[in-house]
Chains A and B, each alone.
Chain A
């Protein structure tokens, strides 16, 4: 069996898995998702439904089916994340709940429905949290939430949300 081995940058040793495999798969998943939403019929219908469910339905889109498809995609992506994280973290039955809460924090930081935004926000929060482990270990658990609070104070609907008109 072949081993992936390690990569050394400066004095720090990283495993190839963490430095290459995980980011490549993540970017691949992102590209696939964007392609699906922008260039396939089902994806375009999904975007239309999120913009205005009523208008989309009146144009003949089956909004219920779209909801179902979206849920399945979300499940697949969640499972992919878990599978990728599994070799580098310890597995416990409660691991999912912590991940759920953190993901919500990332999504709220980025703004609802912002896929590219979520990718950037996740990186931002992950890296700052890693720095916090060195700089202020007492606050490591709270760091993602502190970032979220700071972001939401400045931009109430998340970092990447475009302002929308209020509907009466």
Chain B
């Protein structure tokens, strides 16, 4: 409940910031697409599986948006987003069928391999995809309304904020559900979960589909915001950034992806503004410090704090009860 209220406050604050300083809209929306993508990666991180190729789904979604916008010039932004997400869902159904059999480095590298194949194809099929120049997307209508650039970006900001909250709620709900609990059990002990009668394959597949859909949303929004899709959206560097944000924020709670993205984007923005030659250095330094100080990410640290507070309070309560009980006979 507390988290929901805090996220709502954060979303409203972001909205006010975007409306008063219009230059912040682009970094905020792009930062949110990173957060949504990291949310998808954190689903698999729950099972202890780090995918180094999830940018593939954001890329599939973004290119679907671009192709559809070219084929159907009148298509609405909402339709485009839906189509992009559907495409990454369909791709995940097929790819997931064999990828979820693998664990650890094999899972991560297989995802990376497939994303690299897609990346190479998008770059080389010049006549179809425009190669590394990418494809331009003409600004579509939003919910049937024709918009100028500024109002379109504002509408996109509102849409992205709403989507972020809905997706975070969805992922958090999944984490609490039976399938979500079973997914984290894969990390703890996979053999035991199979002895309990669950199919580890099916649990992983379900988690994989959810993560692909969530990352698909991020790709579609990114494509609409930039008005341009390039193969870079699917490069392994991008996947690496998603993993970076997931580690920074922690996979224990859906809020981790957003905290991680805020940390990542602010370090990137501040260091690019004040130390333009050193931004990668500062980013790396931040990650090292965060891993040393909070090995379970921001969220892990916060959860630990809350747990200690609860324990202390319980102990204080127990002590108070104990003194009360000793006093009682004296008073009688």
Identify which of residues 96-133 in chain A touch chain B, using a CB-to-CB cut-off of 8 Å: 97, 101, 104-105, 107-108, 112
Once the chains bind, are B106 and A139 in contact (CB under 8 Å)?
Answer: no
Q: Closest CB of chain A to B195's CB: distance in Å? A: 8
Identify which of residues 108-164 in chain A touch chain B, using a CB-to-CB cut-off of 8 Å: 108, 112, 138-142, 145-146, 148-149, 152-153, 156-158
Bound state CA distance, A112 and B209, in angstroms?
27
Bound state CA distance, A69 and B324, in angstroms?
58
Q: Which residues of A contact B195 (CB under 8 A)?
A: 168
Once the chains bind, are B191 and A108 in contact (CB under 8 Å)?
Answer: no
Q: CB within 8 Å of B: which residues of A?
A: 97, 101, 104-105, 107-108, 112, 138-142, 145-146, 148-149, 152-153, 156-158, 166-168
Stretch at the interface among B30-38, B113-121, B179-187, B261-269: B113-121
Q: Closest CB of chain A to B236's CB: distance in Å? A: 6
Once the chains bind, are A149 and B189 in contact (CB under 8 Å)?
Answer: no
Q: Which residues of A contact B282 (CB under 8 A)?
A: none
Once the chains bind, are B109 and A138 in contact (CB under 8 Å)?
Answer: no
Size class of the B contact interface (CB-based, 8 Å): 20 to 34
B17 is an interface residue with CB less than 8 A from chain A: no
Once the chains bind, are B109 and A105 in contact (CB under 8 Å)?
Answer: yes
Q: CB within 8 Å of A: which residues of B?
A: 98, 101-102, 105-106, 109-110, 112-114, 116-117, 119-121, 123-124, 189, 191-192, 195, 236-237
Once the chains bind, are A142 and B117 in contact (CB under 8 Å)?
Answer: yes
Of the A-B pairs whose beta carbons lie under 8 Å apart in the complex, a sample of 17, sorted by A's number, is A101-B112, A104-B112, A105-B112, A112-B105, A138-B124, A139-B120, A139-B124, A141-B116, A141-B120, A142-B119, A145-B114, A145-B117, A146-B117, A156-B102, A166-B191, A168-B189, A168-B191
**Top 5 closest pairs, chain A to chain B, by CB:** A145-B113, A142-B120, A138-B124, A108-B109, A142-B117
Once the chains bind, are B113 and A146 in contact (CB under 8 Å)?
Answer: yes
**A139 closest partner in B (C-beta):** B120
Q: Closest CB of chain A to B322's CB: distance in Å? A: 40
Q: Which residues of B contact A108 (CB under 8 A)?
A: 105-106, 109-110
**A143 closest partner in B (C-beta):** B120
Q: Closest CB of chain B to A123's CB: distance in Å? A: 19
**A108 closest partner in B (C-beta):** B109
Q: Given A112-B105, A142-B116, A145-B114, output 17 extra A-B contacts at Cβ < 8 Å.
A: A97-B237, A101-B112, A104-B105, A105-B109, A108-B109, A108-B110, A141-B119, A142-B117, A142-B119, A142-B121, A145-B117, A148-B109, A148-B110, A152-B102, A168-B189, A168-B191, A168-B195
**A137 closest partner in B (C-beta):** B124
